[in-house]
Structure 1
Amino acid sequence: MPEIKLKSIQNKLKARKIECFLVCDPMDLFYLTGIDLQGGYWIVVTAKKATIITSEMLYQQVSDLLPGFEAVKSRKFIETLKTILKTEKIKVLTIDPKKMSLGLGDKLQKAIKKVKYVSVFFESLREIKTENEILLIKKSCNSAVNVFNEIRKEIKPGMTEIYIADRIMELLYKNGTGAAFTPIVAGGINSGYPHHINSEYAIKNNDLLIIDLGARLKGYCSDLTRTVILGKIPELCDKVYNLVKLAHNEAIAAVKPGIKASFVDKKARFLINKEGFGKEFTHGTGHGVGLEVHELPSVNSTGNAILKPGMVITVEPGIYIKNNFGARMEDTVLVTENGREILTRGAK
């Protein structure tokens, strides 16, 4: 698997005429190698080879786990990097400054004669998932669905948002996954905040309750939101809930390869605007999901990315009425060769 991803990176280096790229961000290292060592090593990638710079403590482990890579022990990573560049006759080192501290960026700039900057190098690679990544995301989604269905059966008036969120975390671990993020549980008036911070609010009969949760399995995330109706809700709540559901379904139906991500946003936003709630839809319709719960492509009004098979996105329109209530519905969706597959469909 690392060799396949390495080849993809090297092809991109050739296409962009990049001589050498330094990988030092822990998330990018995990993407490339599948090993989570919280950093602790760098990878120097050229068109022909990849060299790992690592500490003596991690050297044997890295060598055993990544036999297809050359590993070098080092106490001074930058000095070792300089030696590699000289040996390989590399004239320009390319880095992504957003993926490192200002201090490290300054040190590299001073130590290396020629440093070139690029951005969103790995993010664009990570947009299209491999078969193994898709399998892990599907399993992560299954866990999220199972947990939602379990917590839905348990919810009753009097429970606090914090209690429900803690219970979701417990269920995620019981399902063999971690949490992709702290669950959002927003009841009653709190559902009017898109990213409410869980509180001691005790849910009541006739509340709308937004539950936003995600699982993480071997690094890969899922994202799922449902709005739960407790008892009989007022007419306006019912109207908004059904409008969000309709916009959600219309947007998902639009997902297919070859269209702009912004078109998915447009489908949801058109219906919500038409009913006069446009100002209450305050965020994009979705985002990419993978190693991070929010990554490329962006599914919003300015999302220029063309959807391609293997991309995994969310579709999550919402309406939030200040000091009153809100509703949101979200699914994780795989772009397939002929359309889409809803990976979190089973959440009821």
Structure 2
Amino acid sequence: MNFILRDENAVYYECGYSNDNALYLRLGEEAWFITDGRYTFEARERVKNAEVVETNDLPKAARAILRRNRVERILFDPKEWSVDAMAKIRDRLPRLSFRPSPDFSHRKRMIKREDEIERLRRAAQLGREGFETFAGYLRKSGVGRREKRLHFETKSAMSHRGEYDLSFDPIVAINANAAKPHALPTDLVLRKGDLLLVDAGLKFERYCSDRTRTIFVGDEIGFGDDQKFTSRKIEKAYDLVRKAHDTAIEKARSGMTGAQIDRLARDVIEKGGMGKAFVHSTGHGVGLDIHEMPYISARGGTTVEDGMVFTIEPGVYFPGEFGIRIEDMVVMKNGRAEIL
């Protein structure tokens, strides 16, 4: 198979190293990692099963390899490439056929190897430890702090004080701000009796974790699943989301499509009368990227198989009032979903 990549995680998957200025070119059994002089030394130490090519003109070097090998067709993922970047690769190669293959690398990476699953498991475990560290901060100093400060403290706790990179910028939202699924931190101040939603993750050896909890800020603050709220509406919504979360994980099976697993969670929330408040998909694949295939959504046509890792994260959102989401990562193993 002939293909060319430029996405950092796609390149890393192929050869064990990547940077922000590299191309990966594979022609049958041969491969080239093309980069500039800033990265050559490290690339030659880390790149596996590919020849490292140093150049100050990456497209020109790629064209030379393609021309020398008389390549007639090559695959590329159009989601990785800008029009300008693709034009530079095509330049002076009028006879070469570039075949678009959307999500090319994501499709290759859907079924995780055992070593990848163990990295994802470790990322999830470290992420849980980060949540526990943040809970300790909340108990000691969190009440009376603004969301912006809580957001900063979440990043510190989740990164284990800078030891690990984050999977994404955390979401930390109080009460009505939690009704925005991708809320930005504000000047809202955390008080006793508030609802707090936290969505965060970290990377272990480049592999991501992703977890969300919604909690009641009372005398005892923790990120366990058992939460009790003073508002009957919030309590009902929380119990419904938790039931949807647990049901989808319990009933998910290899051989189902992403849409069928999405339906497991969505049916629970719809039967509970809050279907219109569930405004996003039930989950997404996780790996080197925080959002990968398979997509656990109403349009998720991919058949889920053993070795796939994805989130289950149902939620309900009531603008101006509150939002609730509960999320865990699972791996399909022996036909069933196992929480990482």
Compute the TM-score of the two structures, normalised by the length of structure 2. 0.89
1:184 to 166, 171, 186: 171
Answer yes or no: is 1:158 the counterpart of 2:144: yes
CA drift of 1:119 comes to: 1.3
Contact 1:96/1:117 (CA < 8 Å) preserved in 2? yes
Moved over 4 A (4+): none
1:179 alignment partner, SS class: coil
Equivalent position amino acid for 1:170 in 2: S
Aligned to 2:88: 107
User: Does the 8 Å contact 1:215/1:223 carry over to 2?
Assistant: yes
User: What is the 5 A alignment of 1:13-162?
Assistant: 13=1, 20-38=2-20, 40-66=21-47, 68-113=49-94, 114=96, 115-155=98-138, 156-162=142-148
Distance in 2 of aligned mates of 1:118 and 1:206: 51
- 1:254 matches 2:229: no
Aligned letter for 2:275? G
Deviations 1:31-54 (A, max 9, x none): 22222322x332221222112333
Contact 1:189 1:324 in 2 (8 A): yes
Aligned: 1:207 with 2:207: no
Q: Give the partner amino acid of 1:159.
A: R
TM-fit CA distance, 1:30: 1.7
CA offsets 1:33-78 (integer angstroms, 9 cap, x no match): 222322x332221222112333344334323323532233333333
1:330 corresponds to: 327
Task: Quote the residue 1:16 is aligned against.
Answer: none
Question: Matched residues in 2 for 1:64 and 1:203: separation?
Answer: 49
Contact kept in structure 2, 1:188 and 1:204, CA below 8 Å? no
Query: Is contact 1:209–1:227 with CA below 8 Å preserved after alignment?
Result: yes
Q: Give the stretch that moved more between structures: 202-211 or 295-304.
A: 202-211
Give the Cα–Cα distance (whole angstroms) in 2 for the partners of residues 23 and 36 of structure 1. 11
TM-score, normalised to structure 1's length?
0.87
2:59 match: secondary structure: helix
- In structure 2, what is the equivalent of residue 300 of structure 1? 297
Distance 2:54 2:165 in 1: 33
| 1:273 equivalenced with 2:270 (yes/no) | yes
Cα contact 1:143–1:177 (8 A) shared by 2 = no
TM-superposition CA deviations, 1:91-141 (whole Å, max 9, x none): 123322321222111222332222222211001112111222212111111
1:206–1:229 CA contact under 8 A, matched in 2: yes
SS in 1 for 2:134: helix
- Count of residues in Structure 1 that have an aligned counterpart in Structure 2: 324
Which residue is equivalent to 1:9?
A: none
1:3 is matched with none
**Contact 1:24 1:41 survives alignment (8 Å):** yes
The answer to whether the 8 Å contact 2:123/2:202 transfers is yes
Given that 2:15 and 2:49 are in contact with CA atoms closer than 8 Å, whether structure 1 keeps it comes out as: no
Once the two structures are overlaid, the 10-residue window that deviates more, 75-84 or 191-200, is 75-84
> Pick from 306, 314, 319: which aligns with 1:317?
314
Q: How large is the RMSD of aligned CA atoms in angstroms? A: 1.8
1:229 matches 2:216: yes
User: Is structure 2 residue 203 aligned with structure 1 residue 216?
Assistant: yes
Cα 1:61–1:275 change in 2 (3 A) is: closer
CA contact under 8 A between 1:334 and 1:341: conserved in structure 2?
yes
Tell me how far apart the structure 2 counterparts of residues 192 and 170 of structure 1 sit (CA, whole Å): 24
Mapped partners of 1:263, 1:324: distance in 2: 30
TM-aligned CA distance change 1:229 to 1:105, over 3 Å: same
Contact map agreement 1:128 1:310 (CA 8 A) in 2? yes
Q: Determine which structure has the larger helix proportion and give its number.
A: 1
In terms of mean alpha carbon deviation, does 194-203 or 164-173 score higher? 164-173
CA contact (8 A) 2:131 2:157 kept: no
Determine the C-alpha separation between the residues in 2 that align with 1:171 and 1:92: 48
Specify whether residues 279 and 41 from structure 1 end up closer, same or farther in structure 2 by C-alpha distance, changes over 3 A only.
same
Identity among equivalent pairs (%): 29
CA distance in 1, matches of 2:60, 2:165: 38
Alignment of 1:238 onto 2:246:
no
Q: Which residue number in structure 1 is paired with residue 221 of structure 2?
A: none
User: Does the residue aligned with 2:188 lie in a helix, a strand or coil?
Assistant: coil
In structure 1, stretches of 5+ residues that fail to align are: 1-12, 14-19, 344-348
**Residues in 1 aligned to 2:319 and 2:75: alpha-carbon distance in whole angstroms:** 47
Asked if 1 retains the 8 angstrom alpha-carbon contact of 2:16 and 2:47, the reply is no
